[in-house]
Chain A
Amino acid sequence: MSTSNPTRRGLLKTGAIASAGLAVPTIFTASSAAAFTNEPTGSTVTLGFNVPQTGAYADEGADELRAYELAVEHLNGGGDGGMMSTFSSQALNGAGILGKQVQFVTGDTQTKSDAARASARSMIEKDEAVMITGGSSSGVAIAVQGLCQEAGVIFMAGLTHSNDTTGKDKKANGFRHFFNGYMSAAALAPVLADRYGTDRNAYHLTADYTWGWTQEESIAAATEALGWNTVDKVRTPLASTDFSSYIAPVLNSGADVLVLNHYGGNMVNSLTNAVQFGLRDRIVNDKQFEIVVPLYSRLMARGAGANVAGILGSTNWHWSLQDAGSQAFVRSFGTKYGFPPSQAAHTVYCQTLLYADAVQRAGSFHPCAVAEALEGFDFDGLGNGPTHYRADDHQCFKDVLVVRGKENPENEFDLLEVVEVTPRAQVEYAADHPMFAGGALGECNGG
């Protein structure tokens, strides 16, 4: 007959083991209870939209949320169907996804990685979201992508432009429709060389975080390959608001081009400061001084006002495109909200349709089945021409738009004009390109 003799040490040990077990989030232990994380069992399926609802990118987040709501409406058979009618894959039929009514929950990323992970975790654990999508910053996207990989759900990235998202930080459960820094540079550099010549001296001001670094590396490499000289690369803290002390050294640097690797409020302020200091009125090295903004956003161009006039940059999509997909989306979005959609709205709308379509084609919500359906998928009709979701890194390859700030805008939305549609072939790169090296896609995690 055995007897148990409880001791203080034993009790502590048992307690510690039990606590550790309880502390492991349910999303990492759910596999035993279901086939995969948050397998939808009823008549509905829940998607998690994780966007900045507060903080500096709240306006972009609001536009993303509008597009998500529109996509859900269209998936459930409401409205005019938007781009579902122009999408080359006709798997979606307006009856939800695999016959399940689509519902959604939202989270606030606050454009902070920790807050974004917390809201994504909450949507996965409490709301049983089977897919997470969103983000308006590469730092946030990379953080949430990592969480989704661990949790075993698909992550459809929103507005994230860093090479790292599908480079060294790529994950098997993560997919990006938006373009990246390398593609911006590959599209923009030939236009810059064509307009401003090949004998130029460029000075870079760069936001000091993952997106800024990869953007700077990409645009410097692409312009140097065409004969430009890089005079200096200066990193500016993300929290900077007044860039005058960074702009002033440009005046005496011998540079005749200023490249602003800035986004959001940084871009608005640095561009405004540069124009105030008369850079665009200067003649340096017998050439007109020029400013370049590699990544444009209409919402940000609005903040910079007339200062964007004539300045070249790139964008993922623009509402003025005349293809059937773009027109259907603009009509649908514009009728519902009264103004044209931004590129952020476009990319998240596409991502939602692409996820739903992949589930429909795979016949399952299982993340690994969805991933397989998305890998190597070729499609058209979503506003960017023929597009390919590469299996090697889960990056979409499509045409890139080179745009210029409009000189005489006719209204508050008419801020950018497309000067060139750079063909997809020109912005493609090998999956093992040095700028994207250092990470592995890994194995799909179904939870």
Chain B
Amino acid sequence: MDAILLQILNGLDKGSAYALIALGLTLIFGTLGVVNFAHGALFMIGAFCAVTLQRILSLSFETIDESRTDFLGNPLKVETPYVEAWFGPDVGMAIIDWSVPLAIFFAIPVMITIGFIMERGLIKHFYKRPHADQILVTFGLAIVLQEIVKYFFGANPIPTPAPDVFRGSFDFGVLLGFDPYAIAYPYWRLVYFFFSVTIIGAVFAFLQFTTFGMVVRAGMADRETVGLLGINIDRRFTIMFGIAAAVAGLAGVMYAPINSPNYHMGMDFLVLSFVVVVVGGMGSLPGAVLAGFMLGILESISSMNEVKAIFPGIDQIIIYLVAILILLTRPRGLMGRKGVMED
């Protein structure tokens, strides 16, 4: 029982990442009708926003310590971060320590700008092209973005730790009457789950309770009629692309302490996120979120040794198996709307 609970918790944070990426994918598909294969790269760029801010905050000046030597026997160059010199060692170290949460504020404008540039500079030229063309161009763009990041940051993962206060794990075992540490769950993964729920709630609230969101929803339902009412729906959809990019970016920023960012991390999530979108129902925002969490939990449970003893290799195929089953029984996905991608 404790093992199942632990895997459900695991699935929640994995599902959080799937849900956030799938939410952005669905926003772009629902508004612009574009299948954006570069969305995983936006997640990756978000994680590298955290890396970049960490490096900016760690910018240092050199002093020579004659009493010590480096690996070549030369006097040691000691690097002191500027923030430590300006604000004192304690405050300076605390600022660097909190670089990941601070990167949220750094990533939002960066990601919205990247989203605007992507949409205006490239993707808008492919609105009327077949989905295959859109997939090819956005996939190509994803590879270009990956290679740019690799050029500047290298191929190896870069450690981007969470603040010290979130190190370690929360002991759910004792709380639920199990043995101590039977269900231990990392603090930062809990933070990630609650952060994701907050972002998802904020996006839904924005679409549901603002005039802007109402127009966007109307445009998603019937773009032509909204246009005939004299509303510039294209401009609003461009803004939605920026918001979707920011959602993916924020998912990446907060994911950085979970797995050290590397240039390829977006691709690792991309395919699964597309399956999540299809299972949830093309164009359905609640469907994307529901499918994200559902598939995340199923993937985690299927990787239990007891399950794999019965069905070897099930953890590798469970998501695709569930996708096939759902599409056979509900061809539009869990919450898909009639008419989306059916023309």
Contacts and interface: CB of A to CB of B under 8 A. Distances in A.
B245 to A, nearest CB: 22
B265 A241 contact: yes
A300 B304 CA distance: 28
Interface string A323-366: 00000001100110000100000000000000000000000000
Contacts of A340: 71
- Chain A interface size, as a band, is 35 or more
Interface residue range, chain B: 35 or more
A305 B185 CA distance: 21
Contacts of A56: 155, 262, 264
Contacts of A245: 7, 10-11, 14, 299-300, 303-304, 315
A246 B71 CA distance: 39
A249 interface: yes
A234 B307 CA distance: 13
Interface string B1-26: 01100110011011000000000000
B184 A278 contact: yes
Contacts of B68: 410
Interface string B279-315: 0000000000000000000011001110000000001
A335 B72 contact: yes
B155 A59 contact: yes
A249 B155 contact: no
B316 A237 contact: yes
Given A273-B259, A305-B161, A232 B305 contact: yes
B140 interface: no
Contacts of A35: none
A307 B257 CA distance: 12
Contacts of B185: 277
B156 A331 contact: no
Task: Describe A's contact surface by its main secondary structure.
Answer: helix
A244 interface: yes
A305 B189 contact: no
In this complex, the member of A56, A242, A252, A335 whose beta carbon has the largest number of chain B beta carbons within 10 angstroms is A242
Interface in B127-161: 150, 154-159, 161
A276 B72 contact: no
A277 B167 CA distance: 9
A366 B161 CA distance: 53
A282 B14 contact: no
A269 B259 contact: yes
Contacts of A331: 72
A57 interface: yes
B183 to A, nearest CB: 8
Nearest to A252: B3
Interface in B54-77: 68, 70-72
B175 to A, nearest CB: 15
Interface in B32-65: none
A302 interface: yes
A276 B305 CA distance: 21
Interface string A281-311: 1100000000000000001101111110000
Nearest to A411: B70
A410 B316 CA distance: 41
Interface in A242-292: 242, 244-246, 248-249, 251-252, 265, 268-269, 272-273, 276-278, 281-282
Given A252-B182, A299-B156, A303-B158, A276 B258 contact: yes
Given A244-B14, A276-B258, A251 B303 contact: no
B259 A272 contact: yes
Contacts of B188: 276
Interface of B: 2-3, 6-7, 10-11, 13-14, 68, 70-72, 150, 154-159, 161, 168-169, 181-186, 188-189, 258-260, 262, 264-265, 268, 299-300, 303-305, 315-316
15 contacts: A59-B156, A239-B268, A244-B300, A245-B7, A245-B14, A249-B305, A269-B157, A272-B258, A281-B168, A282-B181, A282-B184, A305-B161, A305-B260, A306-B161, A320-B71
Closest 6 CB pairs of A and B: A305-B159, A58-B155, A278-B169, A303-B157, A245-B303, A276-B186
